[in-house]
Amino acid sequence: MEEFVLASGPGGQNVNKVATAVKLRFNAAHSPSLPEDVRDRLMRLAGKRLTDEGVIVIHARRFRSQDKNRQDARERLAALIRRAAQRPKPRRKTRPTPVSIQRRLEDKRRRGQIKRVRQALTGPEE
C-alpha cells in the first residue's frame, strides 16, 4: 500500500503544497507469496523499518517528483526481498593448521618473555 505525504527538503514552493514523499507499506508477516524462510530473513533484514504487526514501512523522499519517489520505494523493497531470498552460505567448521598453532604458541612465548623482561627486579632493599 502506498501513501503520499508531504516531504521535507528541496522542492521550492511545491514542498508545502504537493505530497511527493511516498510511504510504502508491505505486510511481510502475512504475505502469501513469500516462502517461510525468506519471510524470516526479510523480517530480520528490515530492522527498524519493521512494525510490531510485521509490516515493512519504506519512506522514499529522495526526489522532488512523486513518480520517482514511488519507483525508488518499490526498488528498495524489491532489493530488500532479493537480499532475503539469497540463502546464507552454511559455515563449515575448520581446524587450525599445525603451523598456525605453532606460530600462535611461539608468539605467546615471545610476548611472555617481553613482559618478564619489563618486570621490576627485586633485590636487597636498602
Q: Where are the domains of the chain?
A: 2-85
pLDDT tens for each residue of 20-53: 888 999 998 888 888 999 999 999 998 898 899 9
Q: Is the pTM of this model over 0.85?
A: no
What is the number of alpha carbons within 13 Å of residue 38 lying toward its C-beta? Answer: 16
d(CA 75, CA 65): 15
Percent of the chain at pLDDT > 90 equals: 53
Q: Hey, which CATH number is domain 2-85, 1.10.1060.10, 3.30.160.20, 3.40.50.2300, 3.40.630.30?
A: 3.30.160.20
d(CA 125, CA 32): 83
Residue in 24, 15, 26, 39 with CA at minimum distance from that of residue 73: 24
> What pLDDT sits at residue 74?
94
Summarize the confidence of residues 79-105 as an average pLDDT. 94
The side-by-side arrangement of strands in the sheet containing 21-27 is 2-5, 21-27, 55-60
- Name the residue with higher pLDDT: 28 or 7: 28
d(CA 22, CA 67): 9
